[in-house]
């Protein structure tokens, strides 16, 4: 890692599970590999990140409709934030890592409203227009091809849906100060994404706004969050106080994004009307909820209670231990 990138890494919490990308992912876009990672224990539990967790929860509580039909978290990991979705009839936790999902199943598997789905967001197995609400937190910063990802996410929305997306801000105050004092060579004002460690990216807010617009996502609200992500503050002030103070900066931080983390509430204004559901979200059949991630055919055919088959390319997708598996073989 270059000295410059190391400086950037110090400004941003690195979520580096296995230090490798899964180059076998079939789209050709590398995917970070959290399979078997200790993300929950190594990054969150007892790791001094109560403030980040608290502020992300406050941001989501302000931006998400508190209840609705179907919500999906894309890159949900072990389901850290899933308690925020309990006002919904159906809660889809989607992730590339089966072991992270297995952890989520241990916590939430008793609740029939939860649907656990293993898949690659670049090869989306959820059908078009199926989500009333979409959330994606701490995932964008692992995406090597944001436009391709947004092109997969936008069609999941209908005209009344809400999508809340979070990304890491390259033009944060610390990076600006380091650049101005010549302690960092890369410019935080350069719009191009910065890969400061393999598969960890920071984004310029202007670049991200342009990509969202291109993907057909209208940004209705933007928050800057985690302004006080500094050990000196985190170690000396109570989490609740710090989070309350930070939440007062959400809106101004959205107008002038200098915080390390940015949340946006978006909508797909040109999307189709909410599809007429064949049943309420909680009762909809998996055959209708999913599409074939390989050829996009929809609906799938239910060939058993835990087995689906694509009517077009005949691929089969099954459910084991509560997890529907749509990861395509290489």
Nearer to ligand SAM, 32 or 72 (CB): 32
Strand pairing class (68-74; 88-95):
parallel
Q: CB 199 → ligand SAM: shortest distance, Å?
A: 9
Token digits for 90? 């159906």
Nearer to ligand SAM, 73 or 178 (CB): 73
Nearer to ligand SAM, 100 or 310 (CB): 100
Q: CB 200 → ligand SAM: shortest distance, Å?
A: 10
3-state secondary structure of 291: coil
Q: CB 183 → ligand SAM: shortest distance, Å?
A: 27
Nearer to ligand SAM, 137 or 259 (CB): 137
Closest CA to 73 of 106, 45, 108: 108
CA 262/CA 223 separation, integer angstroms: 6
CA atoms within 13 Å, Cβ hemisphere of 49: 17
Q: CB 196 → ligand SAM: shortest distance, Å?
A: 15
Q: CB 135 → ligand SAM: shortest distance, Å?
A: 8
Nearer to ligand SAM, 122 or 179 (CB): 122
Alpha helix ranges (H) inside 154-249: 173-180, 205-214, 231-236, 239-248
The count of other CB atoms within 10 Å of the CB of residue 279 is: 9
Q: CB 42 → ligand SAM: shortest distance, Å?
A: 11
Whether residue 45 contacts residue 77, with contact meaning beta carbons closer than 8 Å, is answered with no
Nearer to ligand SAM, 15 or 246 (CB): 15
CA atoms within 13 Å, Cβ hemisphere of 228: 27
CA 120/CA 127 separation, integer angstroms: 14
Residues interacting with ligand SAM, by CB under 6 A? 15, 31-32, 34, 75-77, 80, 95-97, 100, 120-122, 137-139, 142
């Amino acid at each position: 890692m270059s000295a410059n990138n190391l400086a950037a890494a110090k400004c941003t919490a690195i979520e580096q599970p296995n230090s490798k990308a899964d180059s076998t992912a079939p789209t050709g876009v590398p995917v970070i590999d959290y399979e078997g990672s200790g993300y929950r224990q190594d990054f969150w539990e007892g790791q001094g990140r109560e403030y980040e967790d608290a502020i992300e929860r406050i941001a989501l509580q302000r931006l998400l409709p508190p209840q609705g039909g179907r919500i999906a978290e894309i890159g949900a990991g072990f389901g850290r934030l899933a308690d925020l979705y309990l006002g919904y009839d159906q809660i889809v936790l989607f992730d590339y890592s089966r072991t992270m999902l297995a952890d989520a199943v241990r916590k939430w598997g008793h609740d029939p409203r939860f649907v656990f789905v293993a898949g690659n967001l670049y090869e989306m197995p959820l059908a078009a227009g199926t989500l009333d609400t979409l959330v994606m937190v701490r995932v964008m910063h692992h995406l090597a091809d944001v436009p391709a990802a947004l092109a997969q996410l936008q069609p999941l929305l209908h005209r009344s849906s809400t999508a809340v997306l979070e990304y890491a801000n390259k033009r944060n105050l610390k990076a600006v100060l380091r650049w101005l004092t010549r302690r960092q060579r890369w410019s935080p004002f350069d719009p191009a994404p910065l890969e400061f460690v393999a598969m960890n990216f920071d984004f310029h807010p202007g670049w991200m706004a342009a990509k969202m617009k291109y993907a057909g996502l209208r940004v209705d609200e933007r928050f800057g969050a985690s302004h006080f992500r500094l050990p000196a503050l985190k170690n000396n002030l109570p989490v609740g106080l710090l989070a309350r103070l930070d939440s007062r900066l959400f809106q101004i931080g959205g107008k002038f994004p200098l915080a390390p983390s940015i949340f946006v509430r978006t909508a797909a204004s040109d999307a189709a009307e909410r599809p007429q559901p064949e049943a309420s979200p909680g009762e909809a059949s998996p055959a209708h909820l999913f599409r074939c991630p390989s050829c996009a055919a929809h609906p799938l055919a239910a060939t058993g209670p835990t087995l689906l088959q694509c009517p077009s390319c005949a691929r089969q997708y099954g459910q084991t231990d509560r997890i529907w598996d749509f990861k395509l073989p290489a």
